[in-house]
Amino acid sequence: MTGENTTRTFGPTGRRVAAIGQGSWRIEESEADSAVAAMRRGLDLGLTHLDTAEMYGSGAAESIIAEAILGRRDEVFLVSKVLPSNASKHGTLAACEKSLARLRTDRLDCYLLHWRGAYPLEETIAAFDRLVRDGKILSWGVSNFDVADIDEVAAIAGAGHPACNQVLYHLQERAIEHAVLPWCQRHGTALVAYTPFGASTSPFDARTAQGKVLEEIAEAHRATARQVALRFLLRHLEVFVIPKASSIAHVAENAGAAGVELSAAELARIDAAFPRGRPRRGLPMI
C-alpha cells in the first residue's frame, strides 16, 4: 500500500489528510450508538477525514460526530458547511459558532460554502477570512462550484483559495472530469468526491454488465466491487472520497479500499465500462 493511498496533501493547506473519509448525510437516521461506534471504528482504521454540514439533520449529524470524536479531536480532519441561506458575512460567522458548539470543538479544519446562493461571494469569503484569523477554521473551501464560480472565488480570494471543491463524483457521474477536476489540478485545489457510490446500486450488482466488470477486477484483488469503485475515483492524487457508512462492516470494507492497487489495464477497463460522457452544461449535483 503506498502512502498516497492512505493520506494525501489536501490542496493548498499542505496537510496530509485521509484519502478515504466518512460522510454523515442522513447518519441521524441510524441508531445513534451504532452510528457512533461505526464512525469510531472508521477512525481506528484511518478514515479520519470527517464530512458534515449544518444542514444534515438540521444539526443532528454534527451532534453525532461530536460523540464519535470525543477525546480524539486531534486525530480528525473535520469539515462542515454553511448553508447558502446563512452565508452573509454575519450569518456565516453565526453559523460557524453553532456548528462548533454542536461539534463540541474549538475549530474546523475546513469550512465550506455548501453551494452558491444569493449572498455575494465577497461576503462569505470575508467571513471565512475572519474565522481563519480567529483560529475558528484552519482553511475554507466550496462545494458544488462549477468552473466559472470557482474562478470567481479565486479572483476574489487570491492564490491558495479555495482549499477544496466538494462535488458529486461516482462511476456513473464523471462530468467533473471534463473541467472541474482539471481546474483543481491546475490550481492545486483538493477535489472531494461526494456520493462516491452513486445513486444506484447497479454497479455493485454482478448481474449487470457494469457490475460484472467491477466484480471480476475485485475478485482478482480479493477485494469488493465498492473498493474497486473507490480506488478508481482516487486514481487522481487531488481526489478524496467521503463515503457515508453507518455499520462497522461497511466502514471496514470502505477502509479496505486503501489496500487495493489497480493496474493501468484495470483502470482502462473501468473507464470503458463507465463512460465519462460528453461535457454538459451545468454541474450535476444532489
- Contact positions toward ligand NAP, by CB under 6 A? 23-25, 51, 114, 143-144, 166, 194-197, 226, 242-247, 250, 253-254, 286
For residue 10 the three cell numbers come to 489536501
Is the previous residue joined to 12 through a cis bond, with omega within 30 degrees of 0?
Answer: no
Closest CA to 145 of 154, 136, 133: 154
249 or 268: CB nearest ligand NAP:
249
Minimum Å distance from CB 197 to ligand NAP?
3
Residue 135 — left, alpha, or beta (φ > 0 → left; ψ -120 to 50 → alpha)? left
Give the orientation angle of helix 147-157 with respect to helix 180-187, to 10 degrees.
Answer: 20
Task: Tell me how far apart the alpha carbons of residues 155 and 109 are, in angstroms, rounded to a whole number.
Answer: 23
CB of 264 to ligand NAP, least distance (A): 25
Between 24 and 86, whose beta carbon lies closer to ligand NAP? 24
Nearest approach in angstroms of CB 171 to ligand NAP is 11
DSSP 3-state assignment of 160? Answer: coil
Report, in Å, the least distance between residue 133 CB and ligand NAP: 25
Nearer Cβ to ligand NAP (59/243): 243
**Judged by CB, which is closer to ligand NAP: 92, or 195?**
195
Tally of CA atoms within 13 A in the half-sphere of 78 that contains its CB = 28
Going by DSSP bridges, is the β-strand pair 164-168/190-194 parallel, antiparallel, or unpaired?
A: parallel
- Residue 159 Cβ vs ligand NAP, minimum distance, rounded to whole Å: 24
Specify the 3-state DSSP secondary structure of 137. strand
Q: For residues 64 and 213, which CB has a smaller minimum distance to ligand NAP in the complex?
A: 64
- Point out the residue whose Cβ comes nearest to ligand NAP: 23
The secondary element (H helix, E strand) that includes residue 261 is none
